[in-house]
Amino acid sequence: MSVAYASQDNATSADTTIQQSGTDTVQPEQLETAKNDYKSSNEYVKEDTQKNNNIKKATDKKTTDNTNKNTKNEEYLDDMNNTGDCCTTIIQVSENEAAISFRRDSTGSVSNIYVTNNSSIIKQYKTSGSYFFHVLVSKDGWMVGTGGADNANVNRLIESRALSMINSKTITTSDLNYIANLHRQIGIGHFVIKAPDGRYATEVYRNGPMINTGVLKNGEYIVCPNSKTYYHKGNYVTYTRTSDPVNASRLLALKDPYGLNRRNIMTYHFKRNETTSNIDFYAGNDNGAYVGRSTAYQRDNIVTNKKTVYSTQLPTTVRGMYIDTYTYILNASYKPQVNFIVTTSENITKMGNNITFTANLKVDNKAINTGYVIFKLNGVTVKDKNNQTVKAYLRNGIASVTFTIPDGWSAKAVKLTSVYSKSNYGRIENKTYFNLTRPDTHMQLPNITSNSRTIRIYGVLLDEHNHNVVGENTFAVKVSGLTLKTKGTAMIFKVINGTINIEVTLPDYYKAGNHTVILSTGTRGAYNGCRGSCTLNLALGQ
């Protein structure tokens, strides 16, 4: 971050682009806004031509004056004596999300604070006493906040220059010097502007101007009151102890100690995707609790295009109250280029084995890091043990789930489908296949001793993981090499879920002694067949 004190002795009119110290450069962007959009933005600027031109002439003269003469009417205000005044806070979540809050500090009775919007921008301003705009938020995420002494002509010129910066998508030293010289006319004020990509500039005038420029990184904030002393910048999660952008932005204003006559805090939370942007508007009263003051009685009405929120309705909670959402269409014809690949860790597996499903998602050649995918097997959504849908969250464009093939699944090809859904992309899905083969099975049969020809065969039928075989299996039984039959047909015994419990009466030709018992079951859809044996000690007459 570079810091410059744009005093009247070193002010310059060079229209150079703001740069960071070191190698990082804040590059200007080409003018992208159509002329009709620029006109609609400037509908907000209704200047008293003669008065404003007089101030502009004086400002331009001071901006281009590089002499070493001291200003005769320079104000010497005590920066440590925080006698009031407003504060703007801005946080950068990402290039697609940010928040700005403005705290108004003023004595006097209840005023109306107006929030209006057109096809390209939201504006917050007041008209009581004199006209003063506080905040601008453009549909593509440029943010401006300003405070200072009431002077409608100065404020309108600042607004006009701010709109010009937004529409040209540039922040230049001449812009900042121009605004600093306007604040010199009134002796106090602040101005902050931030681009969607984090480029920013701040100007605070109090006994001379202070200008800061740079790039606000993701997770950083700026607190900019009408005071050099209380200006600060840092990580908003660390400072506010919350990752919520709305609460964090408001806490920054609530905790700013500069201000005696604290009134409304009004917050604009900007989020965008490829097709639309949404700006959520919140407001509340700063009762001074965070800085040891009691100012709940100082508050203003809020008037929007849709409603009026009276001062008595404003809460003093950190979040305030939600008032409205402003939605802008950025690119109605947007059609994303999607690359969605679904893979499995194994092409062939068996029930009881683990298999990993992986989805790799890129949109417009950028890895997606928001949202989640779900997986479906043969059209059935993968769920956890609590029967809840498993959500695989994307990190660096990749989401994965490890799945255990349930017992009893038939050996066949399985279709794996992965689905991602987001409003600006629509439904994105792709599929792949993997194959299930039958696992081998085996039996555990304890030896049997019986003192009659009616015998009971106990045991279990297990798969490769020693899980009971699921479902119904049919068995044939041989004793000493002979298949047990009834009326000349082999006897068939049913075993459910792997639990063997067969009772059979042997023919009279089986004599006392040891006999080998063999059970056999055939191959079915899910399992291979197998044979198992045990020894029968037929202890007749004992």
Question: H or E segment at 92?
Answer: strand 87-94
Inform me whether the pLDDT recorded for 180 exceeds 70. Answer: yes
Q: How far is CA 376 from CA 368, 388, 399, in A?
A: 20, 13, 14
pLDDT at 406: 93
> Is residue 503 packed enough to be buried (19+ CB in 10 Å), middle (13-18) or exposed (0-12)?
exposed
3-state helix, strand, coil in the chain (%, to 5): 15, 45, 40
Mean predicted confidence (pLDDT) in 312-334: 93
pLDDT at 107: 87
The closest alpha carbon to 268, from 283, 258, 254, 253, belongs to: 283
pLDDT at 43: 37
Three-state secondary-structure class, residue 2: strand
Beta bridge partners of 103: 87, 265
Structure confidence by residue, pLDDT tens digits, 521-530:
999 989 999 9
Least confident of 28-37, 77-86, 204-213, 317-326: 28-37
> Is residue 247 packed enough to be buried (19+ CB in 10 Å), middle (13-18) or exposed (0-12)?
buried
Task: Choose between 47 and 202: higher pLDDT.
Answer: 202
Mean predicted confidence (pLDDT) in 120-124: 97
Inform me whether the pLDDT recorded for 232 exceeds 50. Answer: yes
Inform me whether the pLDDT recorded for 18 exceeds 60. Answer: no
pLDDT at 48: 34
d(CA 335, CA 331): 9
Mean predicted confidence (pLDDT) in 171-177: 96
HEC string of 340-408 equals EEEEECCCEEECCCEEEEEEEEEECCEECCCCEEEEEECCEECECCCCCECCEECECCEEEEEEECCCC
> Is residue 461 packed enough to be buried (19+ CB in 10 Å), middle (13-18) or exposed (0-12)?
buried
Query: Would you tell me how many other CB atoms lie within 10 Å of the CB of residue 32?
Result: 10
pLDDT at 541: 75
Mean pLDDT of the chain: 85
For the record, the structure tokens of 209 come out as: 């101007």
For the record, the structure tokens of 219 come out as: 């997770």
d(CA 146, CA 537): 99
d(CA 369, CA 359): 12
pLDDT at 333: 77
* Residue 20 backbone class (left: φ over 0; alpha: ψ -120 to 50; beta: rest): beta
- Percentage of the chain modeled with pLDDT above 70: 84
Q: Where are the domains of the chain?
A: 2-69+87-329, 338-437, 441-538
pLDDT at 3: 34
Inform me whether the pLDDT recorded for 79 exceeds 80. Answer: no
- Percentage of the chain modeled with pLDDT above 90: 77
**∠ CA 98-325-144, rounded to 5°:** 40
Question: H or E segment at 277?
Answer: strand 276-285
Mean predicted confidence (pLDDT) in 293-315: 95
For the record, the structure tokens of 358 come out as: 């992986």
**Amino acid found at 455:** I
Query: Would you tell me how many other CB atoms lie within 10 Å of the CB of residue 490?
Result: 11
Options 3.30.450.20, 3.10.310.70, 2.60.40.10, 2.60.40.730; CATH for 441-538 is 2.60.40.10
pLDDT at 10: 32
For the record, the structure tokens of 289 come out as: 């609790």
Q: How far is CA 167 from CA 1, 27, 87, 139, 141, in A?
A: 24, 15, 24, 11, 12
Q: Give yes or no for a contact between 122 and 115, defined as CB atoms under 8 angstroms apart.
A: yes
Q: How far is C-alpha 446 from the chain's CA centre?
A: 60
The crossing angle, in degrees rounded to 10, of helices 152-168 and 35-42 is 160
Q: Please enumerate in sequence order all residues whose Cβ is within 8 A of that of 34, keeping only pairs 6 or more positions apart, or say none.
A: none
Task: Choose between 56 and 110: higher pLDDT.
Answer: 110
Least confident of 213-222, 229-238, 327-336: 327-336
Is the pTM value of this prediction over 0.85?
no
Mean predicted confidence (pLDDT) in 125-135: 96
pLDDT at 265: 97
- At residue 394 the predicted structure's pLDDT band, cuts being 50, 70 and 90, is very high
Question: H or E segment at 249?
Answer: helix 245-255
- At residue 157 the predicted structure's pLDDT band, cuts being 50, 70 and 90, is very high
Q: Give yes or no for a contact between 538 and 518, defined as CB atoms under 8 angstroms apart.
A: no
The CATH fold of domain 2-69+87-329:
Glutamine Phosphoribosylpyrophosphate, subunit 1, domain 1 (3.60.20)
> Is residue 274 packed enough to be buried (19+ CB in 10 Å), middle (13-18) or exposed (0-12)?
middle
Mean predicted confidence (pLDDT) in 235-248: 98
- At residue 114 the predicted structure's pLDDT band, cuts being 50, 70 and 90, is very high
Q: How far is C-alpha 16 from the chain's CA centre?
A: 35
- At residue 424 the predicted structure's pLDDT band, cuts being 50, 70 and 90, is low
Q: Please enumerate in sequence order all residues whose Cβ is within 8 A of that of 224, keeping only pairs 6 or more positions apart, or say none.
A: 87, 88, 89, 90, 145, 190, 192, 202, 204, 231
Inform me whether the pLDDT recorded for 489 exceeds 60. Answer: yes
Mean predicted confidence (pLDDT) in 382-394: 95
Q: Please enumerate in sequence order all residues whose Cβ is within 8 A of that of 134, keeping only pairs 6 or more positions apart, or say none.
A: 86, 88, 102, 104, 113, 124, 125, 126, 145, 146, 147, 266
Mean predicted confidence (pLDDT) in 55-73: 34
pLDDT at 423: 57
- At residue 143 the predicted structure's pLDDT band, cuts being 50, 70 and 90, is very high
Structure confidence by residue, pLDDT tens digits, 405-415:
999 999 999 99
Asked if the domains 2-69+87-329 and 441-538 are classified in one and the same CATH topology, the answer is no
d(CA 133, CA 214): 24
For the record, the structure tokens of 187 come out as: 């002796």
pLDDT at 542: 65
HEC string of 289-352 equals HHHCCCCCCCCCEEEECCCEECHHHCCCCCCCEEEEEEEEECCCCCCCCEEEEEEECCCEEECC
The CATH fold of domain 338-437:
Immunoglobulin-like (2.60.40)
Mean predicted confidence (pLDDT) in 80-95: 79
For the record, the structure tokens of 374 come out as: 């779900």
pLDDT at 83: 45
Q: Give yes or no for a contact between 252 and 240, defined as CB atoms under 8 angstroms apart.
A: yes
pLDDT at 422: 73
